């Protein structure tokens, strides 16, 4: 299983609202961040919450969002929020070389 | 105290444990535990021992890791690579959930939250404080971290970047804070006493004791 994303890549979180146990915070959806590190693969909480231990693990990444991109009134726009997000929630904004 | 209670003395106004509602989730938890014991998945002794093991964890364990990292650069590297393995080196049981340490620098201050619920490295640091689970802390610390930290008494200069870590997946986080100046000759045990629970959440930084307090 090869990581689709690498540190330094810019990604957009999917603007998506599927039913079920979803651990992608709403404040990140549709927002652009930068991959800091890969931390997967891990069990997918969207399956695990329903006892689906048979489903394959998914890759997670630490994604850093500048405060200025999350909040329109951020007083310190360069402060960061780093969120752990599953690969299927992330759309790369740059082609891999 | 209700009139039906039937005896004349007064009870203190503080509610007893059973005075709240027996909620649906409390009933579910009790029923599930009884079923798992009845089916032999685990026994009562194993359940009690597990609860005791979780309750025995305290922030002093994390403080030992931080103090060792301050005095031993090689240990610091191992801690930043794998907190669970570093804890086991010191004979501390970090539990089964992977924990990461994020290191403060003179330019970066880290703070931990779980905006979704209350994820916390409780096997290592003990139970989280109630405010860590509050909606106010969870919603505000990602949106206005400096205002929240100021309410905790931590005013950060503008040149220090605040990095908020939202524990939304399987990892748990703790902060490796900066060692205070003026502690060059301190022992590991003395250093560990400076590292409080809030220092490892990031809502405080380790500080030397106020000399006025020592005199008092």
Q: Do B166 and A45 touch (CB under 8 A)?
A: no
Q: What is the CATH number of domain B56-212?
A: 3.90.330.10
Q: Point out the catalytic residue in the list B2, B118, B199, B213.
A: B118
pLDDT at B12: 76
- B167 is annotated as an active-site residue: no
The reply to whether A54 falls in a domain is yes
Contact list in B for residue A26 (CB cut-off 8 A) is none
Of B127, B48, B132, B126, nearest in space to B92 by CA: B126
pLDDT at B216: 45
pLDDT at A4: 85
Which domain, by its residues, includes A82? 10-92
Mean pLDDT to the nearest integer, A12-24: 93
The token duo for B212 is: 């006025």
Task: Please check the confidence at residue A97 and state whether its pLDDT lies above 90.
Answer: no
Mean pLDDT, all residues of chain B: 93
The reply to whether A57 falls in a domain is yes
Q: What is the DSSP letter of B130?
A: G
pLDDT at B102: 98
Low-confidence spans in chain B with pLDDT less than 70:
1-5, 212-216
Q: Point out the catalytic residue in the list B2, B117, B134, B187.
A: B117
- B118 is annotated as an active-site residue: yes
pLDDT in tens, A48-94: 889 888 999 999 999 999 999 999 999 999 999 999 999 999 999 97
What are the CA-CA distances from residue B52 to residues B46, B129, B130 (Å)?
10, 18, 20
pLDDT at B87: 98
The reply to whether A3 falls in a domain is no
Residue ranges per domain, chain B?
56-212
pLDDT at A40: 77
pLDDT at A96: 53
Mean pLDDT to the nearest integer, A19-37: 95
Within 10 angstroms of residue A41's Cβ, the number of other Cβ atoms is: 15
Residue A83 sits in a domain whose CATH number is: 2.30.30.50
Give the 3-state secondary structure of chain A. Answer: CCCCCCCCCEEEECCCCCCCCCCCCHHHCCCEEEEEEECCCECCHHHHCCCCCCCCCECEEEEEEEHHHHCCCCCCCCCEEEEEEEHHHEEECCCCC
The reply to whether A4 falls in a domain is no
How far B159 CA lies from chain A's nearest CA (Å)? 10
- B199 is annotated as an active-site residue: no
The reply to whether A1 falls in a domain is no
Supply the ipTM of this predicted assembly.
Answer: 0.94
pLDDT at B215: 53
Number of domains forming the structure of chain A = 1
Residue in A closest to B142 by C-alpha: A81
Contact list in A for residue B169 (CB cut-off 8 A) is 23, 39, 42, 45, 60, 84-86
């Amino acid at each position: 299983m090869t990581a689709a994303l690498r540190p330094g890549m810019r990604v957009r979180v999917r603007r998506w609202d599927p039913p079920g146990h979803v651990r992608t915070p709403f404040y990140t959806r549709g927002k652009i961040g930068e991959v800091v590190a890969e931390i997967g693969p891990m069990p997918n909480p969207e399956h695990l919450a329903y006892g689906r231990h048979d489903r394959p693990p998914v890759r997670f990444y630490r994604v850093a969002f500048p405060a200025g991109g999350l909040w329109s009134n951020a007083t310190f726009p360069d402060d960061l929020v780093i969120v752990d997000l599953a690969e299927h929630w992330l759309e790369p904004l740059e082609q891999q070389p | 105290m209700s009139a039906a209670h039937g005896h004349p003395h007064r009870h203190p106004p503080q509610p007893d444990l059973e005075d709240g509602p027996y909620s649906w989730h409390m009933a579910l938890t009790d029923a599930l535990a009884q079923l798992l014991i009845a089916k032999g998945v685990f026994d009562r002794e194993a359940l009690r021992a597990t609860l005791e093991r979780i309750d025995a964890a305290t922030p002093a364990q994390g403080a030992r890791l931080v103090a060792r990292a301050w005095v031993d650069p090689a240990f610091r590297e191992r801690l930043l690579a794998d907190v669970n393995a570093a804890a086991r080196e010191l004979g501390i049981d970090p539990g089964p959930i992977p924990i990461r340490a994020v290191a403060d620098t003179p330019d970066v201050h880290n703070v931990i939250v779980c905006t979704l619920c209350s994820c916390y490295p409780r096997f290592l640091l003990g139970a989280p404080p109630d405010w860590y689970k509050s909606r106010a802390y969870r919603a505000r610390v990602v949106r206005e971290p400096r205002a929240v930290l100021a309410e905790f008494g931590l005013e950060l200069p503008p040149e220090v970047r605040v990095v908020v870590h939202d524990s939304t997946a399987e990892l748990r986080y703790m902060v490796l804070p900066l060692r205070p100046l003026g502690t060059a000759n301190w022992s590991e045990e003395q250093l560990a006493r400076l590292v409080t629970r809030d220092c490892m959440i990031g809502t405080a930084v380790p500080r030397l004791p106020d000399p006025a307090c020592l005199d008092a």
